[in-house]
Amino acid sequence: MFGGFVRRYAHQSRELGCKMVFTVFFPPAVTKAPVVYYLSGLTCTDENFVQKAGAQRKAAELGLAVVAPDTSPRGLGIEGEDESWDFGTGAGFYLDATADKWRQYRMYSYITQELPALLRSMPELDVDNAGIMGHSMGGHGALTIALKNPTAYKSVSAFAPICNPTQVPWGQKAFAGYLGEQWQEVAQQYDATELARQYSGPSLPVLMDTGTDDEFLKTQLHPWAFEEAARGKLQVESRMNEGYDHSYFTIATFMDDHLSFHAKHILPSAA
């Protein structure tokens, strides 16, 4: 595709205890390509991004590899894992669950440890030069993972991220289920706004795009909370785009901007 290759892999995950899949776009004519991770949103798999986001043309032009993992463990046989579209299968929320029933839901450790270790076995990838981005639940994941591991990622971006999940229904449902009865005491470590308030690391560059017609803007996303918390601590560009919604049409519209943003910070020539 555009001179590069879209390759889908399957492996047995140690962290999650099941088979996991992920897709990598390898750009053409690059011996060791910097990596941008893309974390998808609720109900999605790696294939939503690969087929709908339109990232490959720009990634090929810039010489970036784009890695798209799945959004949760699958087929664990946990009672209730397929009952809701916003919890369980397809809704791992990029955290490490502590409630006994859900302890195999360890997407945070999978994304930050197991997946990069696996990618290091691919000589075409430069995992040490990496950025991370995501959409909605995946935007939440990208922001929180970058803020908790600021030396592992040189840039972070998000499309319509869930910025303050401890204060909105999607996040509260996920945290209560995955973290147990006392979730309020530990959930701040997975809330980008709370992490930004306490942040004292390097001033990471952050790009966020949200649509004014996003149906979840006021009820679930709250980008203004993150903007306020990050002021003076992170290099945040947060854009409100007139008329755009929560869909992949919006993601595709601004994808080139996000890849160019990451390229500016992670390509060796940018160092």
The residues annotated with a catalytic role in the active site are 136, 214, 246
Place of tokens 């303050």: 164
Place of tokens 């709370």: 194
Integer CA distances (angstroms), 152 to 51, 120, 148, 204, 209, in order: 27, 14, 9, 11, 23
**Long-range contacts of the stretch 244-250 (C-beta < 8 A, 24+):** 244/209, 244/210, 244/211, 244/212, 244/213, 244/214, 245/211, 245/213, 245/214, 245/215, 246/136, 246/160, 246/211, 246/214, 246/215, 246/216, 248/48, 248/52, 248/53, 250/159, 250/160, 250/209, 250/211, 250/214
Number of other residues whose CB lies within 10 A of the CB of residue 113: 15
What's the one-letter identity of residue 191? D
Whether the Cβ atoms of residue 150 and residue 201 lie closer than 8 Å to each other: yes
Nearest Cα residue to 73 out of 8, 138, 21, 145 = 21
